[in-house]
Structure 1
Amino acid sequence: MTDKQPSWFSTAVTALADPQNQRVWSIIVSLFGDLAQRDGDQINGSTLTRIITPMGIKPEAIRVALHRLRKDGWIDSTRSGRASVHFLTQMGRSQSAAVTPRIYAASTVPLVDWHILIAGDGQTSALDALAQQPNYVGVNRSTILGHGSLPRDHHDLLVVKDPDLSVPNWLCEHLFPEDLKLTCARLDSTLAGLKLPNALLAEANAVDWAQIATLRTMIVHRWRRVVLRHPDLPSRFHPDDWVGESCRHRVAALLHNLPRPHLNQAGELLAPPLP
C-alpha cells in the first residue's frame, strides 16, 4: 500500500468531482453508507482523512462535517487508543439501509401492484404523509401513485388498483425535470469516459484500498444525488431522453470493478475477503 497518487487516480478523481457545491457532511454519509453500514463497522480518523482529502477537501472541513453529523444524530465517535474512530448511529444505519436498495438496485421496479389514490376536496392532508414514502409519488395535490400494499387508512380515498396506466408526456416531465435529466446525463457521460487500469486489482497487496474507497465514495455520492431525487418508477414513466438506466448500469459495473474494502476492528481498510 502506498500514499502515492498515480496519474489514473488523479484523473479519475478530477472527473468524478461533483460539479455542484460539495457538502462534506453529505459525502461522509455516502462514504459510511457504502463502506461502514453494518453494526460494528467503524472507520478511524486517519483512514477517513486518507479517503476524503484526495477530493480536495481539507481535514478541517472533515472535522466540521463530523461535528454536524454527530449533532444531527447520524454519526458517533469514540477513542480507540490514541485514535478516534467514527461509526453510524442506529438512526444513521437505519436511514442508510432505507435507501440502499434504490442506490444499488440493478433495475427499476416492475410494473406490478400499482394503485392510484385520490383525495376529495379538503382531504388532501391524508396524502401528505404517504407522499413522503419511497413507494409513492405525487401526481398533483390530490393524487398520488404508488405500488405495494394499500395503506391501512385508505377508506376516505378513491382507490384505483392495478390500473391500465396511460402515461402522458406531461407526467414524465413532471417526475423527471430538466435539471435532473441534465445532472444524470453529465454523470452518465463522466462514467462512460472513466478509464481505470485493466490490472488495477491484479496484485491485491499492491492496491491502495483508500484510493479504491475514494473512487467508490465519489461514484456512489454522484449517483445517490441522481437516483434519490426521482421516484422509483418503471421505465414506462421515463422520458425519452432519460439516461438513468444507462447510468445505473455504468455505476454497477464500476463498483463491481472497485470491490468494497474490508474494515478491520481498528477501522482500517483491508482487501475484501476472498469469495
Structure 2
Amino acid sequence: MPADKDRTESVFGALLRAIVEDSPLKAAGFIVTIYGDVVEPRGGVVWTGNLIETCAAVGISETLVRTAVSRLVAAGQLSGEREGRRSFYRLAAPARSEFAAAARLLFGPPEAADWHFVQLTGTAPDEAMQVLERAGHARLGPRLAVGARPLPHLKQPAVVFRGEVVSGERDLGAFASDHWNLALHAEAYHGFLRRFGRLADLLAGGMRLGAAESLVARLVLVHQFRLVVLRDPRLPQAALPADWPGEAARMLFADLYLRLSPEADLHVARHFVTAAGALPEASEATLRRLSLLRESIRRDFS
C-alpha cells in the first residue's frame, strides 16, 4: 500500500541520515565502495551516471563525484573511456589486485595469524612506519614494527623476520594491549553494531526495502564495515580481550548483506550499465561472495 511504502521510505531515510551523520562519507571512498561491491565483480566498468545517481542517494553531489573520479584517475585506480556522449570508467589493472584483497577480507574466512617483525633500513623510516601503522602494525622503535596482518607494500627497504609464538601464549593479550590501542578498535566495532543493529531490527520486524533502498543500504554497510576492518590490526583470538566485538560485527555484516542482496542486485541489473549493455544481476564472483557469507554464518552457529 502507498502509505506503508511512504512510511518505510521515511523510516529508512531517517535511519540512513543518522548513520551517515554519525560516520560521514567521503566521495572518493564511497565511489571505491561502489566499484568494490557492485562493479568489480561484474567486469570493472560502469557509466558515470550510475555513480552520480548512487552517490546522490547518500547526499554526495555530482560536483563532488566528478572531482573524486578525476582524482581516482590521477591516482591510477580508474581509467576513462567514452561511448557517444556517455563516459564510462573502469578499474585500472593495478587497482584490481587491491580490490581482490579487500574482497577476501570482507567476504572470506578469517585470516590466519602471520606474526612478523619489520626492521626499516631506508633513509625515510618515518614515512614507511606510518604506512605500517595504517596497515595495523605496532611501532616497537624508530625503525622496528610488529604485526600479525599481511605486510603492506613498502617503498622503503626493510628486513622482515617471521615470528612464531613458542611460549607465553597466555600473555599475548598483555603484549597486544601494550602495543595496540585495542579500545579504539573495539569502539569502532561497537559503533558499527549500534548503527546497523537498528537496521537489522527493522528488517527482522518486517520492514521491506525497495530495490534502490536495498542497494544504498548495502553500499553504506560495506563502506563502513570496510573502514573498520581495514584499520583493525586483526590480531589472533588469543591476543584479544574476551569481550572483543569484532566477531559480532562480522556476523551482523554477513546477515545484513545476505538480507539486502536480492533486491540490491535487482536494482543493479535494472539500472547499472556499461557501453556494452546492462550489468548482470549476478556473476560467478557475486555468487561466491554470498556463498562465503552463508558459510561464515553456519560456522558461527556450528
TM-score using structure 1 length: 0.75
- What displacement does 1:143 show? 5.3
Q: Secondary structure at the match of 1:163?
A: coil
2:26 to 9, 23, 27: 23
Instruction: Tell me: CA distance 1:74–1:172, structure 2 relative to 1, closer, same or farther (3 Å).
Output: same
Q: Secondary structure at the match of 2:241?
A: coil
Q: Secondary structure at the match of 1:161?
A: coil
Give the residue type in structure 2 aligned to 1:249: M
Task: Give yes or no for the alignment of 1:188 onto 2:184.
Answer: no
Contact 2:148 2:235 in 1 (8 A): no
In 2, the alpha carbon distance for the partners of 1:103 and 1:97 equals 10
Give the residue type in structure 2 aligned to 1:214: V
Contact 1:219 1:251 in 2 (8 A): yes
In 1, the alpha carbon distance for the partners of 2:207 and 2:280 equals 18
1:168 to 170, 173, 178: 173
Correspondence for 1:89:
92
Correspondence for 1:60:
63
Provide the alpha-carbon RMSD of the alignment.
Answer: 3.6
Contact 2:42 2:280 in 1 (8 A): no
Task: Give yes or no for the alignment of 1:50 onto 2:46.
Answer: no
Contact 1:139 1:171 in 2 (8 A): no
Give the residue type in structure 1 aligned to 2:213: Q
Instruction: Tell me: CA distance 1:38–1:89, structure 2 relative to 1, closer, same or farther (3 Å).
Output: farther
Q: Secondary structure at the match of 1:29?
A: helix
- What displacement does 1:101 show? 1.3
**More off after superposition, 19-28 vs 134-143:** 134-143
Instruction: Tell me: CA distance 1:30–1:241, structure 2 relative to 1, closer, same or farther (3 Å).
Output: same
Q: Secondary structure at the match of 1:37?
A: helix
Correspondence for 2:290:
none
* Runs (5+) with no aligned partner, structure 2: 1-5, 151-158, 288-302
Task: Give yes or no for the alignment of 1:125 onto 2:121.
Answer: yes
Instruction: Tell me: CA distance 1:95–1:110, structure 2 relative to 1, closer, same or farther (3 Å).
Output: closer
Correspondence for 1:140:
140
**More off after superposition, 256-265 vs 43-52:** 256-265
Correspondence for 1:178:
183
Larger relative contact order (Cα-Cα within 8 Å, sequence gap ≥ 6): 1
TM-score using structure 2 length: 0.69
Give the residue type in structure 2 aligned to 1:81: G
In 2, the alpha carbon distance for the partners of 1:34 and 1:251 equals 13
Instruction: Tell me: CA distance 1:26–1:160, structure 2 relative to 1, closer, same or farther (3 Å).
Output: closer
Give the residue type in structure 2 aligned to 1:125: T
Give the residue type in structure 1 aligned to 2:98: Q
* Runs (5+) with no aligned partner, structure 1: 149-155, 202-206
2:221 to 214, 219, 222: 219
- What displacement does 1:103 show? 2.0
Task: Give yes or no for the alignment of 1:231 onto 2:211.
Answer: no
Amino-acid identity (%): 22
Contact 2:47 2:87 in 1 (8 A): yes
Stretches of 4+ aligned residues off by more than 6 angstroms = 126-129, 133-136
Instruction: Tell me: CA distance 1:157–1:88, structure 2 relative to 1, closer, same or farther (3 Å).
Output: closer
Q: Secondary structure at the match of 1:57?
A: coil
- What displacement does 1:224 show? 1.1
Correspondence for 2:72:
69
Give the residue type in structure 2 aligned to 1:67: S
Higher helix share: 2
